[in-house]
Amino acid sequence: MQGGLPVIAVSLPGVDRGAIEGMEAAVGKRMLGLSGLEVSALGLGCMGLSYHRSANLDRDEAIALIREAVDLGVTLFDTAQVYGPFTNEQLVGDALAPVRDHVVVATKFGEVDVDGRPVVSSRPELIKQTTDASLARLGVETIDLLYQHRVDPEVPIEEVAGAVRDLIAQGKVRYFGLSEAGAQTIRRAHAIQRVAAVQSEYSLWWRRPENEVLPVCEELGIGFVPYSPLGRGFLAGAIDEHTTFDHADNRNALPRFTVEARKANQALVDRLRTIGERKGATLAQLALAWLLARATWIVPIPGTTKVHRLQENLRAATTQLTSGDLAEIEHAASEVTIVGDRYPAELEQKTNR
């Protein structure tokens, strides 16, 4: 046992067991606001293991990586019904089955796959049906954290929150979350059923949550879970103007990932790299440490398909940034105007409702 977690022995190429000794304790724990839900300070976004990325792993490799994350101290694992669709939930459930009682599994409802594209739908009866299906795929009796994936403008958020409240009363769900919801939606939902966490994109190159969402989370005692905290790999320095993506990789369709945008946005990476080198931190560690320093109730969920990147990301929990470091990072970010929207217009319209 390490810190109460059973160790799941796996053999992975390139894993330095000596180098990761003690990392589990170093990752640390955080509370998601005032909800009472405690998780590791950094979670694992599991989408890219089998969906929307160029380098999807085969099943055994993906399970091994998730189990390696457990051994390193990660307790928050994030998936969704629409990832696949459905196959990512099955993968996560199978990987975590040996340690189910020691980890927090988060999934999402509210987007359904129709002819290969996600369609927003949060009818209460559908929420209950799809939650039962998620329980079966994850192989659990209770979902720890159930998010609404995108706000449905056709269904009042009070009805959505009420449906999840019913699922909590039935013991099928422990905590309620919202993904990419606007401040007023968060308030209205929270009045019906406590919102434990809000998940939204947030990073050094996408900071809109700071305008209204983060203040309302702080006011109401709601945890905040940034997805794509490394800018879908760009802020880790792994992508430049010459990078090519597989046809199935959704970055092909994102305006911020055109060749022209990547070439222009490299200026931010270059400035951050200089700061990181002086701190003895990688770009990924600097970007994640910046998020961790924003508030104690913020828990980023970087994703990766590589074990050495997993190890690198988790070391961000011990990367200490001084007030001077943070000011320097702010200055560097202010010098660069990011080129390209994060989503095409039709997808952006589904957010911040």
- Per the CB < 8 A criterion, the answer to whether 286 and 314 are in contact is no
What is the C-alpha to C-alpha distance for residues 186 and 190, in angstroms, rounded to an integer? 6
| Residue 277 maps to a domain | no
pLDDT of residue 5: 61
Model pTM score: 0.94
pLDDT of residue 7: 60
Quick one: average pLDDT of 47-64? 90
| Residue 119 maps to a domain | yes
Q: Grade residue 53 by pLDDT with cuts at 50, 70 and 90.
A: confident
Q: What is the tens place of the pLDDT at every residue in 97-151?
A: 999 999 999 999 999 877 777 789 999 999 999 999 999 999 999 999 999 999 9
Non-local (6+) Cβ contacts of 286 within 8 A are 272, 275, 276, 279, 316, 319, 321, 329
CATH number, domain with residue 31: 3.20.20.100
Domain span at residue 162 reads 22-230+295-318
Q: Grade residue 3 by pLDDT with cuts at 50, 70 and 90.
A: very low
| Residue 107 maps to a domain | yes
| Residue 5 maps to a domain | no
User: How many domains does the chain contain in total?
Assistant: 1
Q: What is the tens place of the pLDDT at every residue in 259-269?
A: 999 999 999 99
Average pLDDT, the chain: 93
Active-site positions?
83
Q: Grade residue 22 by pLDDT with cuts at 50, 70 and 90.
A: low
Q: Hey, how many other C-beta atoms are within 10 angstroms of the C-beta on 10?
A: 16
Q: What is the tens place of the pLDDT at every residue in 283-333?
A: 999 999 999 999 999 999 999 999 999 999 999 999 999 999 999 999 999
| Residue 95 maps to a domain | yes
| Residue 342 maps to a domain | no
| Residue 249 maps to a domain | no
| Residue 247 maps to a domain | no
